[in-house]
Amino acid sequence: MQGIGMDKQTTIEKMLENYIRQGRWGIHERLPSERELAEEFGASRNTIRFALRALSGRKVLSSRRGSGTFVVMIPEKQVQGDAAMLLLGLRLEGFRIVMPQVIAGYPAWMTPTKINKLESLLSQVGMALRSGDRNAFAQTQQHFFAQLVQHMDNAQLETALSHLLPAGKSFSKLLERQSLTRCEVLFSLLASILNALRHVEPALASQKTTEYASMLGEFFLDAKQYDTWRRKEACES
């Protein structure tokens, strides 16, 4: 009989977890009472209580005396979010180390036609910034550097650098968190990179690329610290 009870508890625990993952209850939302859940699942209140305790032990739920049980973490989404942030962090660090050196070593490939293409892309970055569309702001910057790498006319280098360019939803979300002022500074650095290339100043272009990459690194560290704080607050509340 004890084994049957444990099976029932495990089944309910998994069902509750699936409901949370599917969005039935979001972060900081309160679950129905033990009595209501017992009626819904056709189980005893003790079985429900143990299933809730198991999820609380995994930091998915948090019970507050006199208030109820609340969702504090969505397991699968949290893992996916952590993995995406880790990948973005690796990309940004690789970009910071490699891209300035690459730009410094390729002073001669910037023809007027190539500069004009980059100017058109820079204009798109500026339009996205002014419109407030941070997703477009992220994507146009990605396109700018992808075009820059393509202009180097080196297929192997282009393939290698494609894995280092800031990209993806996590990059868009990173920029969504930034103030307009910080994004304007980022845009000005991008414009400085192109201006240095236009005047065939590879050392200056490399320096501005380092500054650009370092600023993205600051964005990332700020976001990571904020996420850690939010998670700690959720677990302690």
List pLDDT tens digits, range 153-165. 888 888 888 888 8
- Residue 108 three-state SS: coil
Judge whether residue 232 has pLDDT over 60: no
CATH code matching the domain that covers 2-73, chosen among 3.30.565.10, 1.25.40.80, 1.10.10.10, 1.10.357.10: 1.10.10.10
CA dist 224 and 218 (Å) reads: 10
Domain residue extents for the chain:
2-73, 76-236
Closest CA to 103 of 2, 204, 215: 204
Q: Tell me how crowded residue 214 is: count the other CB atoms within 10 A of its CB.
A: 14
- Provide DSSP, 155-199: HHHHHHHHTTS--SHHHHHHHHTS-HHHHHHHHHHHHHHHHHHHT
Q: What is the pLDDT of residue 171?
A: 87
CA distance 126 to 167: 18
pLDDT of residue 230: 47
The domain covering 76-236 belongs, at the CATH homologous superfamily level, to GntR ligand-binding domain-like (1.20.120.530)
Q: What's the whole-number average pLDDT of the chain?
A: 84
Coil/strand/helix, residue 62:
strand
The CA distance from 216 to 165, in Å, is 12
Q: Which residues of 19-52 are buried (b: 16+ CB within 10 A; e: fewer)?
A: ebeeeebeeeeebeebeebbeebebeeebbbbbb
pTM: 0.63
Summarize pLDDT for 90-127 with one digit per residue, the tens: 888 899 999 999 888 876 677 889 999 999 999 999 99
For residue 17, what are its two tokens?
A: 């977890």
